[in-house]
Each structure stands twice: as structure tokens, then as C-alpha cells.
Structure 1
Amino acid sequence: MRVLLTGHRGYIGTVMTPMLLAAGHEVVGIDTDLYQRCTFGDGFPTIPTIQKDIRDVVAADINGFEAILHLAGLSNDPLGDLNPSLTFDINYKASVRLAELAKQVGVERFIFSSSCSNYGAAGDAPVNETSEFNPVTPYGSSKAMTEMDVTKMADDSFSPTFLRSATAYGVSPRLRFDLVLNNLVAWAITTGKVHIKSDGTPWRPIVHIEDISRAFLAVLHAPRALIHNESFNVGRTQENYRISEIADIVKATVPGCEIEYAEDAGPDLRCYRVDCEKIAKTLPEFQPQWTAKKGAEELYNTYKKVGLTLDEFEGERYKRIAHIKYLISDGLLDQNLRWQQAVLTPLVV
């Protein structure tokens, strides 16, 4: 297919892009490239790119595609909390508008990167795709609101699908350290401490970014009847862990480290266990390859290879909220997260 991938230069997009290409798809990207100074490792494939804020996309940008895979947005809870109204403008309003434009120009498939954070404060009982939304952050609310609006657009010519991914982890050319497994392994290897900021009790499903990408590919390849206006939790049911259990996995992976709780550690409202049986039964192409243990080993080996330091992973380069604040303070972005001047040479369209 001819596929448009929004957010292709982000944490997940830089991993998904080569997987789409390997599957034989023609891929064009749209990305404002907020994190162009944040590349980790050897980079990623160059594809035809529209360097544009998702809020500024017009019909001509998306005409002629068979599918849109929509990843672009403010990517986590702390960044979403920076300016909640801006989070809704980018993650919700711009996403709904993109879906409206897609329907207008005849793009049949619209695959939305949603989140299990839709479930928010769900407690200990497993939740599935029919469970009520209970988001506790602007980020989670923006994802839930987008689903609710876009699902109403579905008809014979426009087929949206909503992929509610578990908390991501894994190595990427646009690596993030503000994700639980990535973060705990980084603490362990640089300080000898698995530093937990909550009381360790919240449940969290986790999934590798390659497996998230496999879910998008499975939906892209599936018969329309199986994925039309459907939502899927993305991950494995057995990959739900309490934060304390993730810490135990890290302790078993990184030699000589110890678990340490922050002095102000307390409960986290975000607590959800997710049932992922629907995607396993509906989309047999989706065959996740990763576990938390395997992911911790990948992260440990990568961090060790590059000689990761505490200053690097706690600094502004790989922490989304810190990097955005730096770009604003340096006059490169305005308060609405729009470029005031180019950071690097503009990408070739």
C-alpha cells in the first residue's frame, strides 16, 4: 500500500518505518521533528517527508494514500501536563481533523495510535476493549476523546481502527528514558539503583515498540471486516506487571544493582491491567516477539555498549518534557510548540 505515517521521526515511528518498508509498503512521513537533536545511535531510514506540524496538515498533503497510520502527538503524561489545552489541540483536535480530511479525500484506512492510558484508574481487575474509559491525565483524555469522535465517522468508505498500546519500551533511534522499563534499566546501570518513584503497587501493561509496529502492520494487512471501527489492546495479557515486579526484572538483569524507592514514593492513580486476547484471536498475523525480561536485556546491553551516563539519561536530550522546555527557553520553539527558527537544515520534502 501507499502509506502515510505521521510522527515517523519519533520514538515508535523510527522503528516502525523500516518495518513498513521491509513489508513492501511505500511510506511517506509527516513530522514537525521536535526531537531532531535527540537521535540515539546510527539514525534511521530516510523516506519522503513532509516536515509540517500535524495541526497544519491540509487535504493535499494526504491525498492519494490508501492508509494513514497516525502516531504524531505529545507523547506522554508529563509532556501532556505541560499545557493541557495544547495537548488537546494537538492530540485531540488535530487528530480528529486529520481523520476528517482523510475521509474527505478518500483515504480508506485510518489507524490511530491510542493508548491503554484511556483506562486510567482502573484498579486491579483486568480491563478489555469494552471497559469504560477512566483517564486521569490530559494525555489519556485526549486519546479517549479522539476515539469517541473518530468512531462516529466510520462508514462504507472510511474505516478507522484504534490501537490502544500498552506502555512502550525498547531501543529506538529516538530513544526515550521517560518510560518505565527504559528508565529503570538506565537508573540501574548508571547508579546501581533501580529507582522507583511510586510505591511499586500500580499495575502496568508493557509492550516493545517493535511489537506495537507489528500490530499496525497486522491491521494494515487484515481484511476490512475484521478491523473496521474496532479497537484493540496492544500487548500480551501475560505482560501485565506491578511496577515492583518490573523492578525485580531489572534487578535480575543488571548485575550488582539494588531496588530503591524514592523518599516521597506513593501510590500512582494510573493503575490498569489489560486483557489483550482480542487482538490475539482476531489478527493472527500479530505475533509479539518480546517480553519484559528480553526487553530489559536489550536495554542493558545497549546502554552498556554506548557507555550511558547518568547525565545523559537524566538530561534534556532524551527526556521529552525536558527537551521541549529547553527548546522553548532557547527561543527555538514558542509556547505553542511551533518552530521560531530551524534547529538543523530543513528536511528534503
Structure 2
Amino acid sequence: MTGCDINLFDQADFPPGGDLPDIPNLGKDIRDLTVDDLRGFDAVVHLAALSNDPLGQLRPGLTQAINHEGTVHVARCAKEAGVSRFVFASSCSNYGKAGEGLVDEGGKLNPQTDYGVSKVLAERDLKPLADDDFCPVFLRFATAYGVSPRMRFDIVLNNLIAHAFTTGKIMMMSDGTPWRPIIHVEDMARAFLAALDADADAIRGEAFNVCRTENNYQIKELAEIVADTVDGSEIDYASDAGPDNRSYRVSSAKIERLIPGFEPIWDAKRGAQQLYDAVKSYGLVTDDFEGRKYKRLAQLEALVAEGRLDEEFRVVG
């Protein structure tokens, strides 16, 4: 196994100083990968992306250059190098504003952000690459949560727990009515492994919602779970809290049928308890999660300001 990471978020170890696996690393920007870099590999699992909606608003062209064009570039290099399987981390954000009913993979794609658009376009341009020798598959992940060795606190359940623990307030920036499917980071890893092992004929060029159907929650439900989990916390709605256009509930029937090796085990209650135990053990403070350490947008903007990244988010020097 080999990674390809330019380590923009190497400050995000959780807990700080924790051990990470010692994995060989190509250390290249995905936009600069070549065919020769990928020769000899059986599969590519492609996660690299700008993954923050506010960042997409600030630099929409860059989101497309990395998430869409960069993804297709890596896939074409992989195909030419003889890689047989390309597992793409797509997103349920593709559905965007989908209403109340459950949406399956054949549902209308209605992304509401540049991030969502970039994933839709990447899927569109990856699909024609499929043939008997090259198997791209698109895993449309629900919103991630959970404790990981490289932590994020800019995703919904993680952020709610962090606010609740450090301030006693569960900060709600919307009215809580939007629906979100969520998935634990460990279950995401299980999905990648299952997609690597699945029969190529069953998944070639196909998209799969990666979640459990019962793990669709309204944001206010997640807030209530956090309130029940974090001692002494209470829900606090922002004065301008209103509805969010991004609302979708997804079905997991297709992945359960065609990738039987995928068996997620987490739900929001268990995940909230894991997060609470972790931040309590670490002694998380507001400056940790509100600053650059565990927030993708804040870290990237700081790296640009320090001259370590250029305006195209390429490493300087």
C-alpha cells in the first residue's frame, strides 16, 4: 500500500502526537501525478479533494480544478498505467435539495454547492473510462463523523459535540429541519475495502450511496442526541437560523444488494458517545477546534498567508 498526500493537514493529529501508520508516500499534488507514478498498482482509492463548502464559495474555480479535473486526470493516468480498479470518493451532496422522500442512485442530482457540482462532474467524466480492463466505481458518501487519527471539527456531528463540550451550547446555524445521512469514518473505510473486493461486473461505472438507510437524521435530531450525550449541554439556535437548501435522505438498498461485503456498524448515538469520550479525554478547548488545527478552510487560508501555498493551493518550494 502506498499513499499520495502533500500533508497540508499534518497538524491535525488527534490526540496530538498520536501515532499514524508508517505508509510510503508519493508526496505529490494529484494534479502532477503521472502514468509512471501509478504503474504496478492494482487499484487507486481516490479521496483527494477540497472538501469544504465555504472554501468552494471563496475559490470556485479551484474547487473544480482539483475535485473535478484533478480526479479525472488521476483516473486517466491510472487507466493508462494498467490499474484495474478506481474507487472514487464521491458524495451524497450530489443530491443537494432533494425533498422529504428517500432518494436512490437514480434520483435527480441537484447539488447546491461548488463542492457538490465538482463531484457530479467528476462522476460524469469518469464513467466513460469504464471498460473490461478498467473499473471505476463511485461511492457517494454520507456526511462523515467520528474520531480519527487526523481529526476534523468542521463536520456536523463532530462540530456539535465540540461546541457542546467546550461551551455547553449546541450551536444550531439552521432551523434544524434539513435531513442529512451520516456515516462514521470507520464505516467509510469498510466501504472502500468492500468496493475493492466486489465483483467488477456488479460495480463497473456504478454509483452507490454509502450509508445505512436508518442513519438519515434531521439536524435537530442530531442536536438532541448530542444534548443527551454531553452533560450539562443545551441546544442554542442562532438568531438568524433558518432553513438550509441542502436537505436529502438517501437509500442504501443498492449497496446492500450489490456490495454485500459492506457492513456498517455505527449510528449517531454510538458515534456521539465516542466523540464525547475522546474530547473529554483530550481536554478539548475552543481554540483547538475553532482555529486552524482541525478546520480545513482555516488551515488552507493560513498556509496561503504564510506563503507555504500559492493561490492555486500548490506547495511553494
TM-score bracket for this pair, using the shorter chain length: over 0.9
Aligned-pair identity in percent equals 54
SS at match of 2:20: coil
Aligned to 1:8: none
Query: Which of 213, 229, 233 is 2:209 aligned to?
Result: 233
For the pair 1:33 / 2:16, whether they are aligned, the reply is no
Shift of 1:307: 0.2
SS at match of 1:29: coil
Query: Which of 246, 254, 263 is 2:230 aligned to?
Result: 254
Q: Could you give the per-residue CA deviations for residues 104-128 of structure 1, whole angstroms, max 9, x where no partner exists?
A: 1211100000000000111111110
RMSD over aligned CA atoms reads 0.9
TM-score after normalising by structure 2: 0.98
Q: Is the 8 A contact 1:32 1:54 kept in 2?
A: no
- What is the count of residue pairs matched by the alignment? 315
The aligned amino acid for 2:7 is D
Q: Give structure 1 regions of 4+ aligned residues with deviation exceeding 3 angstroms.
A: none
Aligned to 1:46: 22
Q: Is the 8 A contact 1:331 1:340 kept in 2?
A: yes
Q: Is the 8 A contact 2:12 2:152 kept in 1?
A: no
SS at match of 1:207: strand
Shift of 1:37: 2.1
The aligned amino acid for 1:128 is D
Shift of 1:43: 3.2
The aligned amino acid for 1:182 is N
Query: Which of 145, 153, 159 is 2:129 aligned to?
Result: 153
Structure 2 runs not aligned, ≥5 long:
none
Aligned to 1:275: 251
Q: Could you give the per-residue CA deviations for residues 274-306 of structure 1, whole angstroms, max 9, x where no partner exists?
A: 111111122221110100000000000000000
Q: Is the 8 A contact 2:169 2:236 kept in 1?
A: yes
Structure 1 runs not aligned, ≥5 long:
1-26, 342-349
Query: Which of 260, 264, 271 is 1:288 aligned to?
Result: 264
Query: Which of 49, 64, 88 is 1:88 aligned to?
Result: 64
2:181 and 2:253 map into 1 onto residues whose CA distance is 13
The worse-fitting range, judged by mean Cα deviation, of 294-303 and 276-285 is: 276-285
Q: Could you give the per-residue CA deviations for residues 208-236 of structure 1, whole angstroms, max 9, x where no partner exists?
A: 01101101101111111221111110010
Q: Could you give the per-residue CA deviations for residues 161-216 of structure 1, whole angstroms, max 9, x where no partner exists?
A: 00000000011121111100000000000001111111101000000011011011
Aligned to 2:189: 213
The aligned amino acid for 1:259 is I
Q: Is the 8 A contact 1:199 1:266 kept in 2?
A: yes
Aligned to 1:21: none
TM-score after normalising by structure 1: 0.89
